[in-house]
Structure 1
Amino acid sequence: MPKFHPDRTVLVLTEHRDLQRVLTELTAMTPEAGLREAADWIETLPPTDSDGIADTLNALASLSECVQPHLRQITASFVAASLARNLGRHALWRLARRYADMLAGRYAELLQILEELASPPAGLLTEVVVRLMRVCCVAQKLDALHYTPCEPAHWALLGRAWRLAEAHGVGKRPVRIRINRPTETTFETEYLRSVALASAALEELDEAQIDQTARLIHYVLPSLRLDPHPNSTALLWINPAQGTAPASMTRLPDTPPSGALYFGSGGAVATLTEMEKLMREGMIPTAIGLEGQGAALRFPPLLRHLIRHWSGQAPVRRHRRYPLTGKIRVLNGVEALTDQLGGEVSPQVALWDQIDASMQGVGAEVPSTEAANLLVGTMLGLHSEEGDHWIVGVLRRLSRQKSGTTRIGIELLSWRPLSARADDGVRQTRVLLLDPLHQGGKVRLALPIAVFRSEAPLFLIAGSRTIKLGSPALVERGLDYEIRSYVVGAGTEDQGEH
């Protein structure tokens, strides 16, 4: 029992005076304490009957509005802790997820009461289904941040709300759900938000990019479409009344079911393309709220990710994957791999179960406890049981399974990486050569982020020789690494396969 109120029966949150007292105290609490206390209050609200829907709805809406800043701060703290590989972040996630569960559960109770009424009041019905939809989207985003697939129960609950909203004609009825803001939304708009989140391949993004995606979807939501008729640009289809998850257009039956809707990006791709162009020119969009240099650096790859997935043709694998089992040794991080190949230290090596492979990728399965510190966008070193050398890859996809394991998708970048020392005239550090050196050709180098000056040439130190690399260009920036392309200087001897 929290110390905040030794006896919760003393206060009744459906009474204005008691509710205002609780809201005042919640506002003054730390984000963690405030959100925990709000979840406790929501959990202990007494059962509601049809006469008490309005009072309970007011209490839930007021609590939600009050702790909205707390929820935002906890989400931001979770993302920051994830990037810092702080295992304490999981406690933040559990706190936020419990709050969302408690709130969604109470809205679901109100939904059930309204389902049993022959003529539910339109205003109450609209507000209940919209608020339910909004908190379900919060839970959906939190699950994505934890790389947990969206549960069928999510879509089943939204299906119940959809059927009731459609039966009473309130799906398009506007409602203002933020007390101090004039912005209005509708149930169908919030349902579209959930489908858009499901369409964004969030399992391929890091936590900061997932958080940015939710804000970006909010920004382009008016451009997105959920139409009753299929077209050439449709990306997904869904039958809301059936309460099932969105599916790829490749899985659409020959005879589309009655009530099917088709998700398309509308004008959003053009907006994202223009935004990506502006960022290439050095202008950071202010509407999305990109805090810090790190967030701005990860935003352009996110834009390209969404453009690719929303451009009317779903990405397909370039190479077929084949079942290929066995154990693989894994090094986590570019510095661990450069140290291993350079023979300087003996880094900690993990042992994973490989499940499949293709020409450019590897699938693996690891215990979720071991995967707790893994982040999408991390560079990995891989060494198979039969192999005689390390290869380089990047963790591109992560999904936690109900079985307690985590599925990993890795893109391979180099089959013969080499560790070497490089100097930009100011600093010297160890880097990875991802390609062989050929006179006048290009070579990709992987190195820790922001080690070398972006425009400066590099000098590779190879034994007693120094090899100049010029014309640097950024190829990719991950969480812990940069890949840059350099031109091997004229007159450099062909090094062949090292």
Structure 2
Amino acid sequence: MFDKVAKLGGLFAQGSHGHPLADPRELRRIVAELPKDNAFKALDEIAGWLESLLASDGIPADRVYEAAQQLDEAAQPLLKRLTREYLHTPRLPRNEEKRLWSINCGFWTLAAAVYERCLPEADDKGRAPESAKWLLPALSARLISAYGARLKWEQFHYGPSHNDVWRGLGQALLLAEQAGVAGKPVAIPGGGGSTSPQQEYVKAMVFQAASMDSLLPLEIELAERLIAHFLSGFIFSANGEHDSVYWVDLAQSQPPLRMARMPNVAVPTQRFFKPGNAHGAMLELLGSLERGGDVPAEINLGGQYYGKTLVPVLRHLTAYLAPVPPQRRHDRHRVKHRMSVLNGLINAFVVFSKEFGGRPAGLQMESWVVDNVSRGGFGAVLSDIPAEWLKIGALVAMQPEGGDNWLLGVVRRYHRESDKEARVGIEALARQAFSVELKPRTASSYAAVAGIPSLILQDGNEAGEVRVVLPPASFDLRESLEYPAGDRLQQLVPVALVEQTADYELARYRLG
């Protein structure tokens, strides 16, 4: 997980007195001497010390907790810096993306394991009643928060999901409830103020309910922060009501489930969740931002963002965290069929141009197995995950095995079942399209102007309009485009930009 995890377990076989982190003075020195100018090296050292806490026996829970807490707090600014680099670096190389992801996800996995190690002793009131009294609320909150952070980083990679996270989350909350401290306010690093074990659990539960597998990593980060802001409006209780939307069993290793799958038997460890006032508050903010309003200063997003950046995230949250979550618009039909897949506008331009035949030579094609179809698109299974390009919003051209027609689609959902297998949901943009080089209508020397390689979509359009896929930064609401159509020039008058990504734009044009 880290390059230089210290192999310290054998050094501390004597028990707590042999471990440097059990000595408060030595602990302070170790934390103070962490590298200040190299986040990777500092986090590598922190990981080594956390590993050593897991490998050493005999250290009392309060000493393990104190050491883990100080290492955790020392790591926070470093993790924040690397997270910012992960989320905001355009076209991050695959190996660097994997390195940043492994460091962050690895840290939270280790932190959760160390905090979890403290739980049995902290809850043993007969053995250490005083330490348990002050230790358990903060310990439970930090443990649940660490598991929640791990869930988020797993979602950045779209899985695979591990149900052991929900076992750990449930165990921590149950112990806090049994001790009567589940709602006790505590402060944890990065928590943005006071929180509690129950609040951290509800945040993780709402995050899971929000179905993030159709959002990009930055949108997932913003969604989590918006959930934290509106957290007090969600309702979490031990009693299922007629308008409860999700339920979970704290004693089971399973994520929250929609109430469409009711529990077979009522047990005391079941908890229920509904949006409450949070849904209305999110809708109100969405309406304000859609009207051009500013992002309220009290919402901590970890940085400055324009309202238009939050609009798609809020639309997603208000849909999936609604009193009635979205239902599938089109019926699925089970199939088993192979598709040849090409990614990106350039490859799609080639195959829809018809100049190179039905299957142009030299293009690197993927082979996907489509296992369900609907009027809106396809679901596919990938046995070999593409290394670089597969992501939410990726443009794909698809050709059914044995056919000669190409379809155009966009990856809307992505979930990794394992390191080798993934499932994707593809929205069908068009079943008929053609390639064209568009030119600005106002060009003074038409022949000398370079054309814009584009795709004109021929189905699924409004009357008198076409949708056009363009290269990035090509759409201009003030500029009409045109292309040769037989013996005349067909004019396209801009109507609206429908979708914008780093790889392409989808826009509506009126036929002039």
**Structure 2 CA distance, aligned partners of 1:2 and 1:202?**
31
Superposed counterparts of 1:224-243, under 5 Å: 224-243=234-253
- The offset of 1:18, in angstroms, is 2.4
| Structure 1 match to 2:185 | 174
Q: Please give the per-residue CA displacement for 1:110-154, whole angstroms capped at 9, x wherever unaligned.
A: 012234443642211111111111111111101111111431211
| Structure 1 match to 2:326 | 315
Q: SS where residue 79 of structure 1 aligns?
A: helix
- The offset of 1:240, in angstroms, is 2.0
Give structure 1 stretches of 5+ with no counterpart. 490-498
Q: 1:88 and 2:96 equivalent?
A: yes
| Structure 1 match to 2:421 | 405
- The offset of 1:372, in angstroms, is 5.2
Q: Quick check: 28-37 or 414-423, which moved more?
A: 28-37
**Contact 2:415 2:422 (C-alpha < 8 Å) held by counterparts:** yes
| Corresponding letter in the other structure for 1:20 | R
Q: 1:75 and 2:86 equivalent?
A: no
Q: 1:17 and 2:25 equivalent?
A: yes
1:146 is aligned, of 157, 161, 164, to 157
2:351 is aligned, of 337, 340, 344, to 340
Superposed counterparts of 1:437-452, under 5 Å: 441-452=464-475
Q: 1:205 and 2:215 equivalent?
A: yes
**Structure 2 CA distance, aligned partners of 1:6 and 1:149?**
28
Q: Quick check: 139-148 or 453-462, which moved more?
A: 453-462
Q: Please give the per-residue CA displacement for 1:31-76, whole angstroms capped at 9, x wherever unaligned.
A: 2222222111111136354x72222211111111111121122223
- The offset of 1:237, in angstroms, is 0.9
Superposed counterparts of 1:100-119, under 5 Å: 100-118=108-126
Q: Please give the per-residue CA displacement for 1:257-295, whole angstroms capped at 9, x wherever unaligned.
A: 4443221222222232233233323344253437587x8
| Structure 2 match to 1:189 | 199
**Contact 1:27 1:67 (C-alpha < 8 Å) held by counterparts:** no
**Structure 2 CA distance, aligned partners of 1:240 and 1:299?**
32
**Structure 2 CA distance, aligned partners of 1:53 and 1:366?**
45
Q: 1:6 to 1:439 in 2, by over 3 A?
A: closer
Superposed counterparts of 1:444-463, under 5 Å: 444-462=467-485
Q: 1:3 to 1:378 in 2, by over 3 A?
A: closer
**Structure 2 CA distance, aligned partners of 1:356 and 1:82?**
33
1:251 is aligned, of 244, 261, 281, to 261
Q: Quick check: 272-281 or 357-366, which moved more?
A: 272-281
**Structure 1 CA distance, aligned partners of 2:154 and 2:31?**
27
- The offset of 1:336, in angstroms, is 2.5
Q: 1:142 to 1:84 in 2, by over 3 A?
A: same
Q: Quick check: 251-260 or 222-231, which moved more?
A: 251-260
**Contact 1:376 1:397 (C-alpha < 8 Å) held by counterparts:** yes
**Structure 1 CA distance, aligned partners of 2:240 and 2:468?**
45
| Structure 1 match to 2:145 | 134
**Structure 2 CA distance, aligned partners of 1:395 and 1:234?**
31
- Identity, % of aligned positions: 27
**Contact 2:3 2:44 (C-alpha < 8 Å) held by counterparts:** no
TM-score, normalised by the number of residues in structure 1: 0.88
**Contact 1:162 1:241 (C-alpha < 8 Å) held by counterparts:** no
Q: SS where residue 311 of structure 1 aligns?
A: coil
1:47 is aligned, of 56, 61, 85, to 56
| Structure 2 match to 1:214 | 224
| Corresponding letter in the other structure for 1:487 | R
Q: 1:325 and 2:341 equivalent?
A: no
Superposed counterparts of 1:271-420, under 5 Å: 271-285=281-295, 286=297, 287-289=299-301, 298-342=309-353, 343=355, 347-370=363-386, 373-402=389-418, 404-420=420-436
| Structure 2 match to 1:61 | 69
Q: 1:75 to 1:43 in 2, by over 3 A?
A: same
| Structure 1 match to 2:446 | none
**Contact 1:147 1:399 (C-alpha < 8 Å) held by counterparts:** yes
- The offset of 1:374, in angstroms, is 0.8
| Structure 1 match to 2:15 | none
- The offset of 1:415, in angstroms, is 0.5
**Structure 2 CA distance, aligned partners of 1:365 and 1:5?**
39
- The offset of 1:23, in angstroms, is 2.1
| Corresponding letter in the other structure for 1:362 | F
**Contact 2:475 2:497 (C-alpha < 8 Å) held by counterparts:** no
- The offset of 1:484, in angstroms, is 1.3
**Structure 1 CA distance, aligned partners of 2:219 and 2:99?**
20
| Corresponding letter in the other structure for 2:147 | C
- The offset of 1:371, in angstroms, is 5.3
**Structure 1 CA distance, aligned partners of 2:115 and 2:462?**
67
**Structure 2 CA distance, aligned partners of 1:256 and 1:460?**
66
**Structure 1 CA distance, aligned partners of 2:7 and 2:141?**
34
**Structure 1 CA distance, aligned partners of 2:389 and 2:145?**
30
**Contact 1:36 1:99 (C-alpha < 8 Å) held by counterparts:** no
| Structure 1 match to 2:493 | 470
**Structure 1 CA distance, aligned partners of 2:163 and 2:57?**
27
**Contact 2:203 2:227 (C-alpha < 8 Å) held by counterparts:** yes
- The offset of 1:86, in angstroms, is 3.1
| Structure 2 match to 1:494 | none
Q: 1:56 to 1:383 in 2, by over 3 A?
A: same
**Structure 2 CA distance, aligned partners of 1:109 and 1:69?**
25
TM-score, normalised by the number of residues in structure 2: 0.86
**Contact 2:465 2:508 (C-alpha < 8 Å) held by counterparts:** yes
Q: SS where residue 33 of structure 2 aligns?
A: helix
| Corresponding letter in the other structure for 1:54 | D
Q: Please give the per-residue CA displacement for 1:387-426, whole angstroms capped at 9, x wherever unaligned.
A: 2221111101111113721111111110001111222347
CA RMSD of aligned residues (A): 3.0
Q: Please give the per-residue CA displacement for 1:432-489, whole angstroms capped at 9, x wherever unaligned.
A: 1112699971111122232132343222343553222224212233452222112112
Q: SS where residue 472 of structure 2 aligns?
A: coil
| Corresponding letter in the other structure for 2:369 | D
| Corresponding letter in the other structure for 1:281 | R
- The offset of 1:238, in angstroms, is 1.3
**Structure 2 CA distance, aligned partners of 1:423 and 1:143?**
44
Q: 1:265 to 1:372 in 2, by over 3 A?
A: farther
Q: SS where residue 287 of structure 2 aligns?
A: helix
| Corresponding letter in the other structure for 2:145 | R
Q: 1:2 to 1:253 in 2, by over 3 A?
A: closer
**Structure 1 CA distance, aligned partners of 2:477 and 2:230?**
33
Aligned length: 486
- The offset of 1:81, in angstroms, is 5.2
| Corresponding letter in the other structure for 2:273 | F
**Structure 2 CA distance, aligned partners of 1:154 and 1:438?**
45
